[in-house]
A = this chain, B = another copy of it.
């Protein structure tokens, strides 16, 4: 059972990946009381098992069950969490546990970062997307009507427990959404992994357990390396920002269409095609490279065209991106397959051309 480590000095923490971890993965974790934050879809499946696991190590628990979906990653849900934590007199020694996907993890993490100025946090991701991406690295936050994840904090978990058994109950659409982030690691920094994905994408789509485990571990390893090098995304070039390939276009889709209509991974898939298209316009990728990206995403059952919002609306939405520095948007683009760069010099004309090309029917 692989255990990776995210190396962040005094804030380092392990990622456990494997089958059955919900039942026995907590062996030595020091905690006396937990508040498990989950949603209505996940709670009936896994909440009881996780509460029992905490009981086994002597930790009493309470559960806060939120409505499901990205539309609820907002202040109202956060308010429900704060109210319950205070009503139950949870103090600074109470650990907040996220049981669910990226939305639950981001919300619960932000609650952990801000409740009484910060309490311990544990991630128990139950979707492919959260296992390979959002549970690792400490990004937490909520959405604002004007932009995704605009309010948030960096708050590292003490432990990530990725039980691969939970993928058995994951809807097909969410499995595919997770594969978008898996493919992202290949595109931005791991060409051999990209080639492995091209050879094994059908095994992943059909939920071959060994293939999924390998993809999760290799994705987490990539993520852990990037995060260790640039925890707070302050690197002037490259660094953690590269993990956002496809995300600037993708966030525009999610915000423009309304949170929850597109899954995050779906929007990222379309966004990665747009980033590849723009990279080709800049002369970095060949047309055949862009085609390879499209084909892999199609085989992963992901969309390869963005929502038709109109290019002006895209540009307006993208101008709110967190990677804007001193008024200048830094896009993540591909120098070649397996190597991403941050690029501050794409012109509105180039972006319009890509948007019009990639958002057609």
Residues of A in contact with B (beta carbons under 8 Å apart): 32-33, 75, 79, 82-83, 86-87, 89, 91-93, 113-118, 139-141, 144, 146-147, 149-154, 232-233, 319-320, 322, 324-327
Q: Is the CB of B326 within 8 A of A86?
A: no
A203–B313 CA distance with the chains assembled, in angstroms: 62
Stoichiometry (number of copies): 2
User: Are A325 and B114 in touch, CB under 8 angstroms?
Assistant: no
Interface contact A147-B86, CB-CB below 8 Å: yes
**Complex Cα–Cα for A32 and B152 (A):** 23
Docked-complex contact B325 and A91, CB < 8 angstroms: yes
Q: Which residues of B contact A87 (CB under 8 A)?
A: 146
Q: A92-B325, A325-B92 are in contact. Are A114 and B114 (CB under 8 A)?
A: yes
Q: List 17 A-B contacts (CB under 8 A).
A: A32-B326, A33-B326, A75-B75, A75-B79, A82-B151, A86-B147, A86-B150, A87-B146, A89-B319, A92-B324, A92-B325, A113-B153, A115-B150, A116-B152, A117-B141, A117-B149, A117-B233
Question: Quick check: B82 and A115 within 8 Å, CB to CB?
Answer: no
A93→B150 contact, CB < 8 A: no
The smallest beta-carbon distance between A98 and chain B, in angstroms, is: 17
Residue of B nearest to A110 (CB): B114
Contact of A154 with B117 in the complex, beta carbons under 8 Å: yes
Q: How far is the CA of A326 from the CA of B79 in the complex (A)?
A: 23
Closest B-chain residue to A87, C-beta based? B146
A71 CB to closest chain B CB (Å) equals 18
CA gap between A150 and B116 in the complex, in Å: 5
Residues of B close to A32: CB separation below 8 A: 326
Residues of B within 8 A of A75 (CB): 75, 79
